[in-house]
Amino acid sequence: MADQIPTAEPNSPEARDVRYHLHGYTNARLNEQIGPMIIDRGEGVYVYDNEGRPYIEAMAGLWSVALGFSEERLVEAAATQMRRLPFYHSFTHKSHGPMIDLAEKLVTMCPGNMSKAFFTNSGSEANDTAMKMVWYRSNALGKPEKKKLIARQRAYHGVTIAAASLTGLPANHLSFDLPLSGILRTGSPHYWRDMLPGETEEQFASRRAAELEELILAEGPDTIAAFWGEPVLGAGGVVVPPATYWEKIQAVLAKYDILLVADEVICGFGRTGKMFGCETYGIKPDIMLLSKQISSSYLPISAVVANERVVGPIMDESARIGTFGHGFTAGGHPVAAAVALETIRIIEERDLVANAAEQGERLRNGLAAMADHPLVGEVRGVGLVAAVELVIDKQAKTALEKPGLLGAAVNKALQDQGVIGRAMLDAVAFCPPLIITAAEVDAILTKFRAALDTVASELGLAVPA
């Protein structure tokens, strides 16, 4: 793609993209120079660019296309619903079949004792909604001071004003005048990066729990409403919690009557090798946030699923005020809800959670076998999500002089090999569709190994045979 733009035809898609389109998560000036990569079509785990080149989508788009890029049953589900009822909403006592069916399905399939589902359109909206529900509940309980929220470093909860404030990554705050006040920050569960010399996983988890408790006591337990966490941190670098982490964090939250919000936007629907990340890690949340794989991302839809501890007071407060003054025009959109129901049906029918566990193990074992490569610092993951942390100095755990350069170089070499991964600073992530086969996993591994070797030889490092 490089240097294509200066010579691009003025009416080419590349030139028009540069002229008219401001991208999300993109260096906009760099896009003027190098232009976009235009994806034209998809089939199975592959996408094809506008010159017909195939790529294995090893990130399932944005951790999201569970069923791959050509599931006809989702197309049919959408078309059928589009013909029957293309739009309806949930305000002022209205409802419709797909919304009711999906609410029932989510409440009954989520772990714990969930009570009701509320529908939103994106992960960010689900996070904002949960925040408002938590505040509304505190007011309903006559505890107006119980409003602060605790989120973690490296967390990703989205980009709307409140969700970006929960997010613990600098790019989401810098120049946006964020975060909002009232969001407290605690350490991430990144054992490999943040461990003290000689510290075991259990000791590290105890330290994180003790820090959390100190923060709660310093702020005043009665001022804190909820703790926010992804079972596995996704965009922060696929950070898998160390042994005993969630158990110890939950014990602290229970002690001080603090709600637990599990952001399952990436983990939900099979990604961690069980249906939900909460099941993989024994998390008992009060609220679960679902999106992405819920509809295989064929249409936007997300949900906030909450237990009676949360929903009961909210219902009472809505009666006192006269309404729960929150809701989105397209929340629970019938076509998106129909596609979500069909997605979940397919995941269950084909036992894609088991496939994620099996192919994920193959992927993680294959990556772990590259641990002796000079550029590999750590391989981590669970189920069908993994990351390789790249380093130049294994002892010091450092990469190139500028953070992110090495990750970008390896990810670019990987893309040149025909695999789309994702660099998060110097970690390259893998999160392929749940339908992936063993042969496709092997192709990712071979091409990743080749990408590592390419970059290592560019850097003048010896490559093991």
230 binds ligand PMP (CB under 6 A): yes
Tell me the number of residues near ligand PMP by CB under 6 A.
15
State the alpha helices, DSSP H only, in 301-419: 308-321, 334-349, 352-368, 405-416
Cα angle 382, 388, 389; round to 5: 125
Region from 15-23, 203-211, 259-267, 361-369 binding ligand PMP, contact rule CB under 6 A? 259-267
C-alpha span between 183 and 185 (Å, rounded): 7
DSSP-derived secondary structure for 257-302:
T-EEEEE-TTTTTTTTSSSSHHHHHT---SEEEE-GGGGTTSS--E
Question: Could you give the maximum distance between any two Cα atoms of the chain, in Å?
Answer: 71
**Residue 427 is a binding residue for ligand PMP (CB under 6 A):** no
232 membership: H or E segment, kind and range: none
Q: Which is nearer to ligand PMP, 5 or 299 (CB)?
A: 299
Give yes or no for residue 128 binding ligand PMP (CB under 6 A): no
Task: Report yes or no: 167 and 151 within 8 Å, Cβ to Cβ.
Answer: yes
Q: Closer CB to ligand PMP, residue 98 or residue 158? A: 158
Based on CB atoms, which residue is closest to ligand PMP, 155 or 445? 155
Q: Which two tokens stand for residue 434?
A: 């749940």
Residue 123 near ligand PMP by CB under 6 A: yes
Q: Binders of ligand PMP among 354-413, rule CB under 6 A?
A: none
Residue 64 vs 417, nearer CB to ligand PMP: 64
**What does each C-alpha distance from 172 to 168, 231, 266, 424 come to in angstroms?**
8, 20, 18, 14
Backbone angles phi, psi at 154, to 5 degrees: 70, 0
C-beta closer to ligand PMP: residue 186 or 454 = 186
- What is the nearest approach in angstroms of ligand PMP to the Cβ of residue 400? 26
DSSP state of 326: -
Q: Tell me if 235 contacts ligand PMP by CB under 6 A.
A: yes
Q: Indicate whether 157 belongs to the interface with ligand PMP (CB under 6 A).
A: yes
Task: Find the binder of ligand PMP among 122, 172, 250, 415 (CB under 6 A).
Answer: 122
Q: At what angle do helices 123-140 and 308-321 cross, to 10 degrees?
A: 70
x-marked contacts with ligand PMP along 58-77 as a string, rule CB under 6 A:
----x---------------
Interaction of residue 269 with ligand PMP, rule CB under 6 A: no
Residue among 101, 58, 131 nearest 336 (CA): 101
Fill in the per-residue mask, 75 to 114: x = in contact with ligand PMP (CB under 6 A), - = not in contact.
Answer: ----------------------------------------
Task: Please enumerate in sequence order all residues whose Cβ is within 8 A of that of 110, keeping only pairs 6 or more positions apart, or say none.
Answer: 276, 278, 288, 305
Nearest residue (CB) to ligand PMP, 300 versus 366? 300
Minimum Å distance from CB 401 to ligand PMP? Answer: 29
Q: Which residues bind ligand PMP (CB under 6 A)?
A: 62, 122-124, 127, 156-158, 230, 234-235, 263, 265-266, 291
